Amino acid sequence: MPAMADPNASLEEAVRTLLAEIGEDPSREGLARTPERVRRMYDELTAGYHVDADTLIDDATFAVDYDEMVVVRDIEFFSLCEHHLLPFIGRAHVGYLPRGRVIGLSKIPRIVDMYAQRLQVQERLTVQVADFLMERLEPKGVACVIEATHMCTMMRGVKKQEATMVTSSMTGTFRRDARTRAEFMGLIGKA
């Protein structure tokens, strides 16, 4: 029976090819282990593909008699732009209006990370976080605002160092009720 191919070998070989294509010697001392380091880096930066959403929230939703807004703001994240494989870095602000159930505080940043640690566009990331909470908690509504700087805008193309992209996804009451939306925006410091 033939030996199984090393699944890491093809990514490492691709990095060697990339190094050679840009004019480098992949075997020189400073680059010899770069393919392995890049593979490990991508394993870490794309770990969200391997997160089981059910296990992530597991037994961390709780019945409560509370129906006021719950907000977790300034959740830092790192993601990779699917267009250039360059990082975008930012903060997510997430709020919801419970309908008898809340989720453990640490789970909201974990949900953001689950989606951020995939090849992404910021718009989709914003919607995925809001939709996940809407589906799993069935609250009156969810709001997600994400602010990020994109290395593809800073390092290449237009080369704008101060440009920040802001995206939002509002569901349920946050979409229908301007006062609820305004309260959320005030709580995240964006009134």
Catalytic amino acids?
A: 81-84, 122, 150, 152
Output the CA–CA distances (angstroms, integers) from residue 174 to 112, 180, 184, in the order listed.
Answer: 19, 6, 8
Tokens of 176: 């229908």
Which residue pairs, CB below 8 angstroms and at least 24 apart, start in 13-18?
Answer: 15/39
* Rounded Cα distance, 95 and 184, in Å: 7
Give the residue carrying structure tokens 């990020």. 148
SS3 of residue 144 by DSSP: strand
| Side-by-side strand order, sheet with 141-150 | 119-120, 70-81, 87-97, 141-150, 165-170
* Rounded Cα distance, 6 and 69, in Å: 49
Of the CA atoms within 13 Å of residue 72, those in its CB half-sphere come to 19
* Rounded Cα distance, 35 and 181, in Å: 47
Q: How many residues does the chain have?
A: 191
